Chains A and B, each alone.
Chain A
């Protein structure tokens, strides 16, 4: 079984975010980065599938040089080798452009299963996996909670709204987008970190892949949303704020 996991590097979760000077993109100075959380679960699922079935896990990521760090983390956790689709700093891809690049890289590999997170925590389009499937001609399923291989098929448990679920049977090859939280994530061991240094990391420039690069949308402006609701906000000293809040809850909202 050959499994490709497509992971994205995104700004760390508690980053303080602001727009850059052109007002059109994120200010990236002082940001630290981490593996997109749903992608970390996709990687975990891939590693567990490999432990069950044997085969190979290939990690795939598109981004500038800094992405190598996230790739090494995946290798340290147990992925066998990696493909880094190298982009220039500051390249912004819409989901179609990103999927075109990634699909080209997958095409050359002929995977059985392609896994990725159901959305990224930064841009949050939630589309890359689905579009990759369309471009590759693979079947797909989204918001996947469980993956059960059955010969040349895979049976997955999908999450639906309001606490409903559904099992779906799909033929291989397949693209699955994985929901966060479905398994416990492993940590990289010291041994793993050491071994990662010897594993193959193939770097391909985006130009080499000859994917169509036209953008389907333009971002006109990025900004901190204006608050519309008239909320009463207390800050500063915690005791004082708690006192003011308790008074309001008792005498204004009359809820205690």
Chain B
């Protein structure tokens, strides 16, 4: 019996989220009193994984490029051979693409996007967010074998020195005819002309602003602070601000001295882009908005009143 952590590589490097999933997997293994193991597809020798009993390296020419069919079949074979009690993934876009399929093939439900694990009588209880973080739910798997994916930033990567785990090659049997999708090379859109990563102060606006015509309200705040303007995704999707001003998992990652989140709810895809900010200020009318969890200072109130008042006050203290 074991807990199997499926880790993800990009350009031959294990991702940070994979190590966070590993930390979660080790905690689950502790609760179940079994050993943790890891699996890596497209193993490269510099994959240094510690704190697990073994690393399975799944290698096959048909796994060079990610496809849901290839990955599902390969990991299914490993699960059938090892019969782990729990299978743990980082909740990446890639995992979103194949792990539900894999779990369903084995008749199980993936408990996706888990933010914490608790123990209840030697079995794990998983905490996941509902309504983009407005509520939490404690969830238990009904099956003996459990599948979970771990949200970015929810677990701390262990820094404790530990011996590098032995690597074992796991042979998979794949046939080209099993793989239906043909992926092309990943690409980026045109180069960005604005580098928000270098900004010291950022005023970021979300859907609370309601209309494009209201943008001058936050622009006034950005002006008085000498700040760059940024936004959550829906604002850029609507074309109210250019895409290159989007902060989040599919936009830019920023770490300014101060980040003002105005009318932004604080969905995880936004938070991952701005969590590194030194000071976070949130203005939101909903006192339960998840953004307040990331904020050092917050104002619960209507942005249409609070922001103009703040502009006046900043002018005063600056004078």
Contact = CB atoms under 8 A, between A and B. Distances in A.
Interface of B is mostly: mixed
Give the residue among B100, B108, B225, B287 with the most A Cβ atoms within 10 A: B100
B180 A171 contact: yes
B306 A141 contact: no
A220 B139 contact: yes
Contact of A256 (B98, B108, B225): B225
B158 interface: no
Q: How large is the interface on B (under 10, 10 to 19, 20 to 34, 35 or more residues)?
A: 35 or more
Interface stretch (A49-57, A78-86, A128-136, A203-211): A128-136
Contacts of B143: 216
Interface in A8-29: 11, 14, 16-17, 19, 26
A235 B297 contact: no
B212 to A, nearest CB: 13
A163 B98 CA distance: 20
Q: For this complex, into which size category does the number of interface residues on chain A fall?
A: 35 or more
Interface string B295-319: 1111111100110011011101110
A51 to B, nearest CB: 21
B317 A256 contact: yes
A161 B104 contact: no
Interface stretch (A107-115, A189-197, A226-234): A226-234
A166 B181 CA distance: 12
B181 A170 contact: yes
Contacts of B189: 163, 165
B97 interface: yes
Contacts of A250: 317
A217 B109 contact: yes
Interface of B: 68-69, 92-93, 96-98, 100-101, 103-105, 108-113, 125, 128-143, 180-189, 201, 225, 233-234, 237-238, 249-253, 257-258, 279, 281-282, 286-288, 290, 292-302, 305-306, 309-310, 312-314, 316-318
Given A239-B305, A245-B310, 18 more contacts: A124-B132, A126-B113, A135-B104, A161-B93, A163-B251, A164-B188, A165-B186, A214-B142, A215-B142, A217-B109, A219-B139, A232-B296, A235-B301, A242-B299, A245-B297, A245-B313, A246-B316, A253-B297
